A = this chain, B = another copy of it.
């Protein structure tokens, strides 16, 4: 086996630190968040891609905290992972979203990879290497209709991969690009697999054509695959994930939820800062500083309630996913999906509301383009549409009313 050698470049700072505990993971995230926050507005305004920050993440060991203990990782609890991503997102939700698929595709390996694949790729993660994603396709019937195919190359040792993927968050910054593709499994027909392709593989091209109004520096662009050769050792039978109770969906969604809760918290804190330091009191308020205005205080109270609700539900959902991860019963995995869906519904509304209300409490001066305070709303509005709340509400309703478990797939 030589195929694993043609590796991509290691992260800038060399071998990464290895985080050992949940507490260390949260402390590290808090420290990096404090470091990342001050530049967030400028990175968004000038669309400066956060490559240096991602290298800091790599070096810090945060990208390996989900690696199982037997492979040398911290295997942190799901609620810890959620808190890590929430903290990063509070500082800069772009930086938090980029490695979301990194975590997801490491989980695919943990679940469906064989011993050698796990050994190798977890080693990559521990070394600080990053995994992106190449899953969504355009022009298909819905978001889970895939046309990219793995075709046997005839020698029996590998496949050829061809297709075009969009919204490939993380791919631009990745060392490895996991690609979702259909493989014709004899006797079963098309089955979904993940092919782990090195970022520099011939035929793989990442195009930075992302133009979302928010999450601008995630560079969630296009990945083109033209006859890319993939050795069999890098292909994982992802379709098996959904044959029994699973937490693939709830685990992935938990991170998206954490990002939205983080956006809510970041907007709330920036609003408080602005009101305390820059806003003028309204002339009818009868108080000498804006921060004393009883009606403004009231609004802040409502916004804080929204953010705290989202945060409490995120923690609850993290715990539910953690339980489900260890028991993997039908009941526990359904409960986890519903808990995450609930948290996401509340978080999505909270981050959109708070990032819009930021202006209401801050007053006229806050709308200056140069302050770029609308990045919070643009980020919130863009990221919350990733998968729609309206269907989460529906799954929650069915579960509550009829006890129906949600469907098994990657977005609940």
Contacts and interface: CB of A to CB of B under 8 A. Distances in A.
Contacts of A312: 309, 312-313, 315-316
A294 interface: yes
Interface in A110-138: none
A111 to B, nearest CB: 28
Interface in A279-324: 291, 294, 296-305, 308-309, 312-313, 315-316
A49 interface: no
A96 interface: no
Nearest to A290: B401
Contacts of A345: 301, 305
Interface stretch (A173-181, A379-387, A389-397): A389-397
Contacts of A297: 394, 397-398, 401
A400 B267 CA distance: 12
A313 B346 CA distance: 13
Contacts of A315: 312, 316
Contacts of A140: none
A31 interface: no
A272 B305 contact: no
Contacts of A296: 397, 401
How many copies of the chain does the oligomer comprise?
2
A400 B342 contact: no
Contact of A268 (B339, B346, B392, B400): B400
Given A305-B393, A312-B315, A300 B401 contact: yes
Interface residues of A, number: 38
B397 A298 contact: yes
Contacts of A206: none
A254 B194 CA distance: 49
A346 B312 CA distance: 12
A125 to B, nearest CB: 32
Contacts of A313: 308-309, 312
Given A294-B394, A316-B315, A394-B294, A400 B309 contact: no
A43 to B, nearest CB: 26
A391 to B, nearest CB: 9
A276 interface: yes
A84 interface: no
A275 interface: yes
Contacts of A300: 396-398, 400-401
Contacts of A275: 401
A402 interface: yes
Contacts of A346: 305, 309
Interface in A322-352: 339, 342, 345-346
Contacts of A294: 394
Contact of A396 (B291, B305, B393, B396): B305
A350 to B, nearest CB: 10
B298 A394 contact: yes
A398 B303 CA distance: 12
Contacts of A400: 268, 272, 300-301, 303-304
> Which 8 interchain pairs have the tightest Cβ spacing?
A301-B397, A301-B393, A300-B397, A297-B397, A304-B400, A301-B396, A312-B312, A312-B316
Interface of A: 268, 272, 275-276, 291, 294, 296-305, 308-309, 312-313, 315-316, 339, 342, 345-346, 390, 392-402
24 contacts: A272-B400, A275-B401, A296-B397, A297-B394, A297-B397, A298-B393, A298-B394, A298-B397, A300-B398, A300-B400, A301-B394, A301-B397, A303-B400, A304-B342, A304-B396, A304-B397, A305-B342, A305-B346, A308-B339, A308-B342, A309-B342, A312-B315, A312-B316, A315-B316
